[in-house]
Each structure stands twice: as structure tokens, then as C-alpha cells.
Chains A and B, each alone.
Chain A
Amino acid sequence: MRGASALDELLDAFPRARIRAHVVWEPVLATDFAPPMSSVLKLVDDPRAVQYWDPDRIVSEDIVRAVSEHPQRYGFDEPLPPGFVVWDVVALFDGAARWEHDLPAPLRYGGPVVDVIEETRSAMQRALERR
């Protein structure tokens, strides 16, 4: 929840920037048996956000596959362990990045979201200044 609010504040910091935020909600905790309620979805109220419910964690699964096939590309020394779930993470990509077979290498990523949001904001500032 705090991660969602932190993301919304990050978007607020760049009101005129052409940013698209893809917010993937996925079941991780025992209480995550249903899609996020409207009250949760509204935590990210910026119109530049697109929100998804991923009940089978297909996005996490695909990211784990890509990272495990090419760990160095993503800054890892070795593949991720079996059953790893990508969760409470924010990744920043350049506007030219394209997600084809594998997730593109992010400019920056980290988590928990609320703990890395300031660094993400700085990285976003730098990325936008380069364009």
C-alpha cells in the first residue's frame, strides 16, 4: 500500500513528463485472493498509470525467466532461485526501451518500493534531462 502511494507521489513530481507507469498487482500474501479493491486502485490516481491484476503472476514468472536466462544483463551474478517472486519492486526504463521476448534492462530497479522511491525519482530526473 505504501509503495502505491509512493509511486503516486513520484508521478506527481513530474506532472508534465511523458511517463507511463504500469502497475501490476499480484497475489503474494495469503490475503491476496482477490483483485485490488477500488480503494487500493485509487492510491495510484495519476492518469498516466495503467493498472493490471495478475492472478497467476505471469509477469513475475516472465521476468524471472528472463533474468535467469541472462543474469548479467540485469546485474545479477547467477540465475534467480526457483519459485522467486518479483514483488514490491519498481523498475525505471528509458522511453526507447522495448519489451520484446525479454524484459529490457532497466535504467534502475529496486525495492521495497517505498525505500527506493527517492533514488528512482533522481534516476527519473536524469533520464528525462537526457531526452
Chain B
Amino acid sequence: MALAAAAGTLAVCAGIGAWMVFAPRSVPPGQPPLTRLEKGALPLLLDAFNAPGQDARLLVMLSPT
């Protein structure tokens, strides 16, 4: 019984973990899709940062949890 409970708990945790990793992400309306910055992809951010027509720019570094 204890083994089954442990296995069940493990399965639930694995399911939650998989959902957190693979669940689709959506940003609020009007924003471009969430951009994943892989290694070597820094120019994507630089190009967006340097886009003309802005009076001010903010760069904010945050952790998701």
C-alpha cells in the first residue's frame, strides 16, 4: 500500500513537472510571443532593444518563481 502511494505521488509530481515544462505559454495581447534566448541568440535581444522610435527603454531581469 505504501509503495502504491509513493508511486502515485511520484506520478503526480512527474505530471505536474511535465506540465510546467511543456504547457503552452501565452503572453498578454499586443505583445510579441515569448522569445527563447538560446546560446548565440543575444542579437535577437539587441535588435529589439535598438529598434527605432522609442523615447525610453527598460531592461528588467527577473526570475519566474
Contact = CB atoms under 8 A, between A and B. Distances in A.
Interface of A: 1, 3-4, 7, 10, 17-29, 31-38, 40-42, 44-47, 49-56, 58-60, 62, 86-95, 97-100, 103, 106, 113, 120, 124, 127-128, 131
Contacts of B49: 20, 22, 98-99
B64 A92 contact: no
Contact of B55 (A4, A22, A95): A95
A17 B48 contact: no
B56 A99 contact: no
B57 A52 contact: no
A58 B46 CA distance: 12
A27 B63 contact: yes
A112 B63 CA distance: 12
